[in-house]
C-alpha cells in the first residue's frame, strides 16, 4: 500500500522503513495471526504517512488487529536512547506530547508504538481504515491540531483525533 518510489530519485528512508514494517506485519498476519478472532477480516496490512522527524521515522501501521502510530530509528540517524521493552515514552510531535511504548520487532529492531485503535472492528473496508490512517498521520504532524499556543501543550487524545474532533474544530474555525 505504500507509494512507489520515483524512478531515479533517492529512496526515502522513512518510506523504506514503512515498507519493511508492512512486509513484517504481513508475515505476522499470514502466520501467527491467521484466524485469530480479534482480526477484522475486511482489513489487510498497510503503512501510511511515513515521514522523517527528529532522526526517526514516524507513520501509521494498520493491521487487521490494530492501528498504531509508530516510531522507528532511521538507518543513518542516531539511535533513540536505549530503554527496556515495555517502557512508556513521551515523544514531542508537532501536535503535542504523545505516549509510546517501546518494543522490539523481529527483523526490524526497536519499534515504539502508540496504540490508536485495537481491535479495529469499526472499519467495514480497508479504504475507510486507510482514510482514517491518513488523517491521523497528518494530524499528529500538524501543529494546528492543538488549541491556541497560549495554552500548555496537551497530550493528544487519540480517541478524539480518530473520531474527527480536530477536523471538526478546523472546519468551525474557517
Domain assignment of residue 107, yes or no? yes
C-beta separation of 91 from 139 below 8 A: no
CATH number of the domain residue 56 falls in: 3.30.1460.40
Above pLDDT 70, what percent of the chain? 78
Domain assignment of residue 168, yes or no? yes
Domain assignment of residue 104, yes or no? yes
Give the number of domains in the chain: 1
Domain assignment of residue 71, yes or no? yes
For residues 103 and 174, the model is more confident at 103
How confident is the model over 35-83, as pLDDT tens digits? Answer: 999 999 999 999 999 999 999 999 999 999 999 999 999 998 889 999 9
Calculate mean pLDDT across residues 106-135: 97
Supply the pLDDT for residue 6.
46
Domain limits at 95?
Answer: 13-173
User: Minimal CA–CA distance to 73: which of 47, 99, 105, 29?
Assistant: 105
Alpha-carbon distances of 150 from 46, 98, 145, 156, 172, rounded to whole Å = 37, 19, 14, 16, 19
Domain assignment of residue 5, yes or no? no
Amino acid at each position: 500500500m505504500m507509494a512507489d518510489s520515483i524512478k531515479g530519485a533517492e529512496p526515502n528512508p522513512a518510506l523504506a522503513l514503512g515498507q519493511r514494517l508492512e512486509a513484517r506485519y504481513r508475515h505476522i498476519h499470514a502466520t501467527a495471526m491467521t484466524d485469530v478472532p480479534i482480526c477484522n477480516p475486511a482489513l489487510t496490512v498497510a503503512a501510511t504517512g511515513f515521514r522523517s522527524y527528529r532522526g526517526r521515522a514516524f507513520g501509521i501501521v494498520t493491521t487487521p488487529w490494530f492501528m498504531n502510530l509508530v516510531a522507528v530509528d532511521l538507518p543513518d540517524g542516531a539511535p533513540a536512547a536505549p530503554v527496556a521493552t515495555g517502557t512508556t515514552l513521551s515523544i514531542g510531535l508537532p501536535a503535542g506530547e504523545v505516549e509510546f511504548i517501546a518494543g522490539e520487532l523481529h527483523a526490524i529492531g526497536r519499534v515504539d508504538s502508540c496504540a490508536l485503535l485495537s481491535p479495529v472492528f469499526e472499519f467495514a473496508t480497508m479504504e475507510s481504515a486507510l482514510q482514517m490512517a491518513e488523517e491521523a498521520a497528518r494530524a499528529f504532524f500538524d501543529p494546528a491540531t492543538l488549541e491556541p499556543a497560549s495554552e500548555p501543550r496537551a497530550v493528544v487524545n487519540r480517541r478524539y483525533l480518530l473520531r474527527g474532533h480536530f477536523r471538526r474544530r478546523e472546519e468551525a474555525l474557517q
